[in-house]
Amino acid sequence: MTSEQTYLSPPDVSEEEIEAVVRAMRSGWVAPAGPELTAFEDEIAGFTGSAACVALSSGTAALHLGLKYVGVKPGDSVICPTSTFAATAFSICHTGASPIFVDAQAATWNLDPEVLSEALADMAKRNELPAAIVTVDLFGRTCDYDAIIPLAQQYEIPLVIDAAEALGATYKGSPAGTQGVLGIYSFNGNKIITTSGGGALVSDDQDLVDKVRFWSTQAREDVAWYEHNEIGFNYRMSNILAALGRIQLKRLPSIIAKRKQINGWYQDAFSEVEGVEVVAEPGWGESNYWITNVLFDDPSGETAILVREALAQAEYESRPAWKPMHQQPVFADAQTYLNGTSDQIFARGLCLPSGNNLSREQIFDVVTVIRSTLG
């Protein structure tokens, strides 16, 4: 058993990142913009096969400005999954619009296309179609886009991809974050790669990316003095953090390979354990294996709680899946289209330690603790 606390997904920063940050500082570009930032944006665009990219201060900022660009405004509504991190819904609120929560698909934990279809039909009937649909590729698994994209097209609603957790994953061979009008990634401290805090927006629409970049730097017009025709935001990533991000991006394939190995160890170890299953990867793509999720059979949720407590005793951090937005006090009044799946995921699901530095022995140790709790 380990004597030190093992976290869910700690940042993994090597000497190379440290040197890159120092180099960026020594270069004199301790400014918001700079060559590292431009290079990072080009590399993200290249990695995701997108025409353009803008690096921002967070994934939330990227979603906010992306939604603003597709025309979401105060009084509008925007569909998003109820099973997600609150930032998805908060960014909708930042535009002045209201989130409408749609339930999850049991197999992937992502937006359920059937419930989405029912929601859109219902909203169309009431002449209240949403201004946008935000999908989330949760825990690194992509959504069922072949079912979702036609719905967005049928109702002519822009599709925004929250791939904050899914950089490096694919859907039928195409990179996560590229199935809609725009996609966003997060480089927060616990994500698959990190800039300590940061995000990016990608799109094949160069005008979109240019406009978001413009808004993100206080909507400053290109003249000698500070001239503003629009309200801006201070949302740009700094040159120094981009230097960190460039090394992390370079290391992403090896990070994904390690996380996949961890996921495989969990699958092997759990294959003989009754009462729990590792959430499988969707058949249509390759996950980035950001976090390995398990689902316990016990519908009461009691087992998941006991396991989490037992793991905490053994100094392993584990966490329930995202608490559904429709269960959050702040969204008590939100409109919802539910089928009960996200409630089950929250009660029965658990996120297990998935950090890059975990050894096979540690994974087996985690499984041993879980097995003995299951009795």
Ligand X SMILES: *Cc1c(COP(=O)(O)O)cnc(C)c1O
Give the interface with ligand X as residue ranges (CB under 6 A). Answer: 58-60, 84-85, 87-88, 136, 162, 164-165, 186, 188, 199
In this complex, which beta carbon is closest to ligand X, that of residue 17 or of residue 365?
17
Helices (H) and strands (E) in the chain, counts: 11, 13
- Name the strands in the sheet holding 292-296, side by side, starting at the edge strand that comes first in the sequence: 276-278, 292-296, 349-352
- Residue 221 CB, shortest distance to ligand X, in Å, is 28
Would you say 160 or 358 has its CB closer to ligand X?
160
Of 64 and 371, the one with the shorter C-beta distance to ligand X is: 64
Pairing of strands 159-162, 132-136: parallel
What is the smallest separation between the CB atom of 237 and ligand X, expressed in angstroms? 11
Identify the three-state secondary structure at position 254: helix
Query: Which residue number places its CB atom closest to ligand X?
Result: 59
Q: Which long-range contacts (CB under 8 A, 24 or more apart) does 367-373 make?
A: 367/266, 367/269, 367/270, 367/273, 369/307, 369/310, 369/311, 369/314, 369/316, 370/273, 370/276, 370/294, 370/307, 370/310, 370/311, 371/273, 372/310, 373/303, 373/306, 373/307, 373/310
Residue 217 CA to residue 151 CA, distance in Å, equals: 35
Looking at the Cβ atoms of 140 and 363, the one nearer to ligand X is: 140
Pick between residue 88 and residue 263 the one whose CB is nearest to ligand X.
88
Q: Tell the smallest beta-carbon distance from residue 206 to ligand X (Å).
A: 23
Q: Nearest approach, Cβ of 320 to ligand X (angstroms)?
A: 14
DSSP-assigned states of every residue in 67-123: HHHTT--TT-EEEEESSS-HHHHHHHHHTT-EEEEE-B-TTTSSB-HHHHHHHHHHH
Q: How far is the CB of 190 from ligand X (least distance, A)?
A: 8
Residue 50 token pair: 């997108």
CB of 199 to ligand X, least distance (A): 4
For ligand X, which is the closer residue by CB, 275 or 320? 320
Q: Tokens 């040197």 — which residue?
A: 19
Closest distance of CB 290 from ligand X, Å? 9
Residue closer to ligand X (CB basis): 88 or 362:
88
